[in-house]
Amino acid sequence: MTRDDPTPDDHDGEEPFPEGERDTDDGEADANDPGDTEDSDLPNESAVGDGLDIPDDSAAEETTNEASRPDHRPAAANSTDPTDPTDSDPFAVHSADELGSASDPSVDDGMASVTDPNPSPEGGESGGSSSQGLFDDLLSGDPIFENKDVLRPSYTPERLPHRNEQINNMATILVGALRGETPSNILIYGKTGTGKTASAKFVSNELETTSQKYDVPCEVEYINCEVTDTQYRVLAQLANTFIEANQRHVEERLDEVRALADRAETNPGALDGTEFETPEAVESRIEELETDLDEFEPVPMTGWPTDRVYATFFDAVDYRERVVVIMLDEIDKLVEKSGDDTLYNLSRMNSELDNSRVSIMGISNDLKFTEFLDPRVKSSLGEEEIVFPPYDATQLRDILAARATLAFVDDALSEDVIPLCAAFAAQEHGDARRALDLLRTAGELAERSQTDRVDEDHVREAQEKIEIDRVVEVVRTLPTQSKVVLFAVILLERKGAKNINTGEVYNIYRRLCDEIDADVLTQRRVTDLISELDMLGIVNAVVVSKGRYGRTKEMNLSVPIEDTEAVLTSDSRLGDIEDVKPFVQARFDN
Ligand code: ADP
Ligand code: MG
């Protein structure tokens, strides 16, 4: 449709983008085609397949190694000869020798000639059960990682350098729970990667182990509200956790009381000094406990009215005397998604509970969410506030160094790796998660490039890769309208436009909207969307004065164009747009 659009400058009838030109990937496609590699010109190419035509042994070995790559066929015979000149070939199986591996295909020689209808002169080249060498070269290098998991977000470190102050503050507030007092509610906030979750979990573990050690009834329940993000789910999860805890408690009690009943049958003195005066009292206690056990009913994941879920949770908590600390991580996500009802309900529980007490610890990446809270909830939740400031580069170095010792083999990191990771992450608002990601990714890149040492270049490459991954994720989750606006910017840049102004973007945007049947927003709204893209770091927009024509925004894409375009066109709506280039061209000639 757009192609036929009679825009004024279309009259020359020139097709600026003939079909063929759109396929710019030719070179790459060919590189993957085994038939198109240099090797295909070798006279022995056909010999590789049936192994019959090889005129000269030594030459054949070399050729075989080379030409067999596209097939993933290791030349097994090589691995048995330590003096083999082709040993440097990454596809040779020498690595299996180093590993003392039993999978060395050469040991299968006999088998191969039995199963192979077309045995090669060397024998064993295509042993039926032997590996094709896919993993051998990857295994061949010295390992870099001792334990990569240590660098993953799921790992809980035993020590948290530079968080003593925050951890001690939490402990000072929560210690009341171990004395049977109700601790103040706590609100923790700080940017992502400042150690909030790790510290909260650390404190929670300590609190629980100490409560067990001194046998004081204190329980900590951790909920990640990014996952559990509605009032129903939060209450249901809490209810079910406490129901399970109550069940365990009642079962233990039952065992004790039943054992006592048994002893009392043969020895009436067994009840002396217990809470029971008569065997009947013991029996009725057993019945009570059995009834309780029957009555515990877990909350289904959906379907109950919220009132009932709340009441069940309430009863489960109040079933016995204890102090309960509820940690709500990513609490802002809960409020954003489901409002502050949950927090309201939780924060006024204490006035109604008979046996137990509840204390809330909310953890948030930004403090703004408190603006959306009912003032009562806000003041209750914020009784105590603890701030987690960003780490600086020096602190990040300490954190990385501690992890690196566990994660990497000795000497795997060259000197500047940790400082560079720390410096990059310090720029990224002091994010320890980013620092660890960088270190892990740098290690993986080094591993892939088959060196045994991570160096500065790997870190830079990792930084780039992570940044692209971030952009991809941000772009992928943009609303459709923003995607269309961004697509317009990309199409203009593709045409070599610099300092693209809002008007140009808007014109392309409108036509793209037509194409995909989307509503066309006003230019003003599109300008807002551009500002949002600017804030996300996807475009860089500056306001420029055009003298008597007023002001406009001029922008450039600040992310890699290829990756961004690929994400956009993977959206089914945008992917459907065909022939975009011709009509961009048309626009441009205006
Ligand atoms: P937040 O919850 O503030 O976003 P996390 O607690 O999840 O941050 O921390 C992010 C990553 O950094 C985790 O892998 C965590 O183990 C690590 N980390 C954060 N602070 C420290 C620290 N002081 N010492 C060691 N590791 C830390
Ligand atoms: Mg967290």
DSSP string, 91-155: TSTHHHHHTT-TT-GGGGHHHHHHH-SS--TTS-TT-TTS--STTHHHHHSPP-BS-GGGGSTT-
Helix (H) or strand (E) holding 557: strand 551-557
Q: Which one of 367, 436, 438, 440 would you pick to mutate in the ligand 1 pocket, going by the greatest count of ligand atoms within 8 A of its CB?
A: 436
Q: What are phi and psi of 187, to 5 degrees?
A: -115, 120
**Residue 19 Cα distances to 141, 244, 494, 586, angstroms:** 46, 65, 16, 16
Q: Which one of 197, 204, 394, 437 would you pick to mutate in the ligand 1 pocket, going by the greatest count of ligand atoms within 8 A of its CB?
A: 197
In the reported structure, the alpha carbon of residue 436 is separated from the centroid of ligand 1 by a whole-number distance in angstroms of: 9
Number of other residues whose CB lies within 10 A of the CB of residue 537: 13
Cα–Cα distance, 394 to 374 (Å, whole number): 40
Residue recorded with tokens 């024509």: 549
Q: What ligand has the least distance to the C-alpha of 152?
A: 1
Q: What is the pLDDT of residue 452?
A: 85
pLDDT greater at residue 347 or residue 100: 347
Per 3-state DSSP, what percentage of the chain is helix, strand, and coil (rounded to 5)? 60, 10, 30
**Residue 169 Cα distances to 176, 184, 253, 385, angstroms:** 12, 12, 36, 10
Nearest CA to ligand 1 atom 7: 197
DSSP code for 408: B
Cα–Cα distance, 333 to 306 (Å, whole number): 19
Give the pocket of ligand 1 (CB within 6 Å).
153, 157, 160-163, 190, 192-198, 399, 432-433, 436
* pLDDT category of residue 56 using cuts at 50, 70 and 90: very low
pLDDT at 340 over 80: yes
* pLDDT category of residue 567 using cuts at 50, 70 and 90: very high
Q: CB neighbours of 432 closer than 8 A, spacing ≥ 6?
A: 193, 194, 195, 391, 396, 399, 425
- Determine the average pLDDT of the residues in 322-343: 94
Q: What is the pLDDT of residue 69?
A: 38
In the reported structure, the alpha carbon of residue 107 is separated from the centroid of ligand 2 by a whole-number distance in angstroms of: 52
pLDDT at 366 over 90: no
In the reported structure, the alpha carbon of residue 198 is separated from the centroid of ligand 1 by a whole-number distance in angstroms of: 5
| Residue 518, token pair as written in the block | 């989307």
In the reported structure, the alpha carbon of residue 393 is separated from the centroid of ligand 1 by a whole-number distance in angstroms of: 14
Q: List the one residue out of 301, 317, 314 whose CA is nearest residue 345.
A: 314
- Determine the average pLDDT of the residues in 426-435: 93
* pLDDT category of residue 156 using cuts at 50, 70 and 90: confident
pTM over 0.75: no
In the reported structure, the alpha carbon of residue 469 is separated from the centroid of ligand 1 by a whole-number distance in angstroms of: 20
Q: What is the pLDDT of residue 246?
A: 94
**Residue 198 Cα distances to 8, 394, 508, angstroms:** 63, 19, 47
Q: What is the pLDDT of residue 154?
A: 86
Atom of ligand 1 nearest to the CA of 192: 4
pLDDT at 205 over 50: yes
HSE at residue 496, side-chain half, CA atoms within 13 A, is 3
Mean model confidence pLDDT for the chain: 80
- Determine the average pLDDT of the residues in 297-301: 94
